């Protein structure tokens, strides 16, 4: 008996044969993949991945703009006369500025230290507020949130400034002012937990000193947002404003020593940690103002020490 060539039975048989063939091919591919994994261990795969990454970075490095020396910069980008080489030229788009974070230049250290710091504080903030649960009252959560907020704002604004400073004069000046405002937020947030716990049982003193540091910090932010404040001639004034804000914490420190004694203030009141924080802040402001060590060795610290000189 002859079947028509369009007989459904033949079609079903052909489809079944094709399906079986495809299954065998897929099985063969799976076997080939397994054999491949046997032939190439994890270390070889990592080496291949590293090589591909290196090629990608090299491709990005070789295309686009090149770093320039200090003399080639426009006047508004010349902030530190002792950083001589490896500057970014003016990049006229936000995309180009953000891509520059993967290049090596005078702002690379600044960008990545602040970016990683900001991300770390975000993680710590979420972990602390979630894990603390019933251990902390809402007032204490608010106090810790003030510190974390100040740290995140400071590091975030600073990262954005160092990333976008070469975009244009107006954008660079705007984010420079926000950078200094972020420092004031950090100073405010750093003092609030200390004041809250040092005067835990003295409500009037706690409120008075917290309001005082907030007012002084707000005044510093207003000064920092003035357009002339970010220009190079005002560098000593910038350092002085934030040093003054930091030194304002001496008054409540003396108050706690009078109330509790010096030893108890160090051991129980965490005065020692506050003094250490103040020393670090003042040291950073001093290094920024006098521009050490690049002042002593111009051109020798163009990349990695520039993040300290910030």
Burial (0-12, 13-18, 19+ Cβ within 10 Å), 302: buried
Distance separating alpha carbons of residues 211 and 200, to the nearest angstrom: 15
Question: Can you spell out the DSSP letters for 247-285?
Answer: HTTHHHHHHHHHHH-HHHHHHTS-HHHHHHHHHHHHHHH
Q: Which two tokens stand for residue 200?
A: 């835990």
> Is 105 annotated as a binding-site member?
no
Confirm if 173 and 129 have CB atoms less than 8 A apart. Answer: no
Question: Can you spell out the DSSP letters for 107-168?
Answer: THHHHHHHHHHHHHHHHHHHHHHHHHGGGS-HHHHHHHHHHHHHHHHHHHHHHHHHHHTTT-
Q: Which two tokens stand for residue 261?
A: 């004694």
As annotated, the binding site for Zn(2+) includes 162
As annotated, the binding site includes 162
């Amino acid at each position: 008996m002859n079947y028509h060539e369009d007989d459904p039975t033949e079609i079903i048989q052909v489809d079944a044969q094709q399906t079986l063939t495809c299954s065998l091919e897929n099985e063969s591919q799976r076997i080939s993949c397994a054999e491949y994994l046997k032939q190439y261990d994890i270390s070889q795969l990592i080496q291949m991945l590293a090589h591909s990454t290196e090629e990608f970075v090299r491709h990005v490095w070789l295309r686009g703009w090149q770093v320039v020396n200090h003399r080639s910069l426009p006047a508004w980008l010349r902030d530190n006369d002792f950083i001589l080489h490896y500057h970014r030229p003016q990049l006229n788009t936000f995309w180009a500025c953000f891509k520059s974070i993967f290049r090596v230049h005078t702002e690379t250290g600044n960008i990545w230290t602040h970016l990683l710091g900001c991300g770390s504080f975000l993680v710590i903030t979420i972990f602390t507020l979630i894990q603390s649960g019933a251990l902390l009252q809402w007032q204490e959560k608010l106090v810790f949130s003030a510190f974390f907020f100040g740290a995140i704002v400071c590091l975030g604004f600073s990262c954005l400034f160092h990333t976008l400073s070469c975009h244009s004069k107006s954008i660079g000046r705007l984010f420079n002012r926000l950078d200094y405002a972020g420092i004031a937020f950090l100073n405010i947030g750093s003092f609030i937990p200390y004041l809250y716990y040092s005067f835990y049982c003295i409500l009037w003193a706690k409120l008075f000193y917290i309001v005082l540091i907030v007012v002084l910090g707000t005044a510093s932010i207003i000064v920092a947002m003035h357009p002339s404040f970010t220009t190079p001639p005002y560098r000593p004034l910038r350092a002085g404003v934030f040093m003054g804000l930091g030194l304002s914490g001496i008054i409540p420190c003396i108050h706690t020593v009078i109330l509790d004694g010096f030893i108890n203030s160090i051991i129980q009141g965490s005065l020692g940690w506050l003094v250490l924080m103040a020393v670090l802040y003042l040291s950073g402001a001093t290094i920024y103002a006098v521009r050490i060590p690049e002042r002593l060795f111009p051109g020798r610290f163009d990349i990695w020490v520039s993040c300290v000189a910030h």
